[in-house]
Amino acid sequence: MESLLAQGAVMVQEAKKILVFVGAGLSTESGIPDFRSPGGLWSKYDPSDFYYDKFLSDEEARKKYWKMSTESYAIMRDAKPNRAHLAIKALEDKGKLIAVVTQNIDHLHHKAGNSPEKIIEIHGTTFSVSCLSCGKRYDRDEIQERIRLGEEVPRCDACSGILKPDTISFGQAMPQDKVSRAIAHAQECDLCIAAGSSLVVYPAASIPVYAVESGARLIIVNRDETSLDSTANLVIHESVSKALGDMVGI
């Protein structure tokens, strides 16, 4: 393992334009359970209750959604960046990071100090809420306070429209501007590091593919095998925080 990490460190040192693509494995090391893992939210709730169309059409579905989302938000709000997040921040400090594309909705790259313009939250963020009718945006804590005071399904105070956290739900269209930016960065990077992602959730998981097809080298860091392992220049099955921390040298 140490020789693999040493190889990764050399690849990081040689690279000039690094794109980091991260998934839930980064957040689990900050104490945020993977929705799909044993004990995760999908073991308590039925994912089919949270499809976007159902959220729009069914008041009971919205009530279930807010209950689930409130539970997950409490964990994310209190979570702290781990060594992997700090390693990604260090890559920015070194002038090597062109962007971090994250499947996570937990705001931990912001907490770690990465520049907002470097962070592409491809599945959105749970830290803000928007009205689906008029577009008014709210800080999440404001909405959580209304829920704490008894409002089970909060509505927009400007137009009474449906409020929803700024995350991408099952069946909801991906934000095309973010996808386009992520692809553009993938096509310009000389090294892509895919960390803590099973690389099975598309279209997000296609980002490392674009990087490889454009000539970039690919490092995959994940505890388990992924479908892209055979195309990577280096595969490390290890703790994400240890691997990134060691390779970046923090």
pLDDT (tens digit per residue) in 129-142: 999 999 999 999 99
Write out the H or E segment, with its range, that includes residue 137. Answer: strand 137-139
Catalytically active residues are 123
* Helix locations, the chain, DSSP H: 2-14, 24-28, 52-57, 59-78, 83-93, 108-112, 140-148, 176-188, 207-213, 240-248
Predicted confidence at residue 236, as pLDDT, reads 98
Count of C-beta atoms within a 10 Å radius of residue 135: 11
Work out the burial of residue 174: count CB atoms within 10 Å of its CB; fewer than 13 is exposed, 13-18 middle, 19 or more buried. middle
Instruction: Say how far apart CA 244 and CA 26 lie, in whole Å.
Output: 10
Query: Under a CB-based contact definition with an 8 Å cutoff, are residues 100 and 183 in contact?
Result: no
- Calpha distance 73→75 (Å, rounded): 5
Contact between residue 22 and residue 103 where contact means Cβ atoms under 8 Å apart:
yes
- Compute the distance between CA of residue 54 and CA of residue 61 in angstroms, rounded to an integer: 6
Q: How far is Cα 66 from Cα 73, in angstroms, rounded to an integer?
A: 10
Phi first, then psi, for residue 151 (nearest 5°) are -85, 100
Query: What is the per-residue pLDDT across 71-122, written as a single tens digit (0 to 9) for each?
Result: 999 999 999 999 999 999 999 999 999 999 999 999 999 999 999 999 999 9
Contact residues for 223 (Cβ-Cβ < 8 A; gap 6+):
25, 237, 238, 239, 240
Antiparallel, parallel or unpaired: β 119-121 and 97-102? parallel
Greater confidence, 40 or 20? 20
Mean residue pLDDT of the chain comes to 94
Kindly report the number of other CB atoms within 10 A of residue 201's CB atom. Answer: 15
Q: Which helix (H) or strand (E) holds 124?
A: strand 124-131
Q: Which of 74, 78, 70 is nearest to 111 (CA)?
A: 78
Tokens of 64: 């279930």
- What is the reported pTM? 0.93
Query: How would residue 201 be classed by pLDDT, with cut points 50, 70 and 90?
Result: confident
pLDDT at 42: 58
How sure is the predictor about 35, in pLDDT bands with cuts at 50, 70 and 90? low
| CA proximity to 23, closest of 209, 201, 215, 227 | 201
Check if the beta carbon of residue 116 is closer than 8 Å to that of residue 89.
Answer: no
Among 9, 12, 40, 8, smallest CA distance to 24 is for 40
Give the tens place of pLDDT for each residue, 164-191: 999 999 999 999 999 999 999 999 999 9
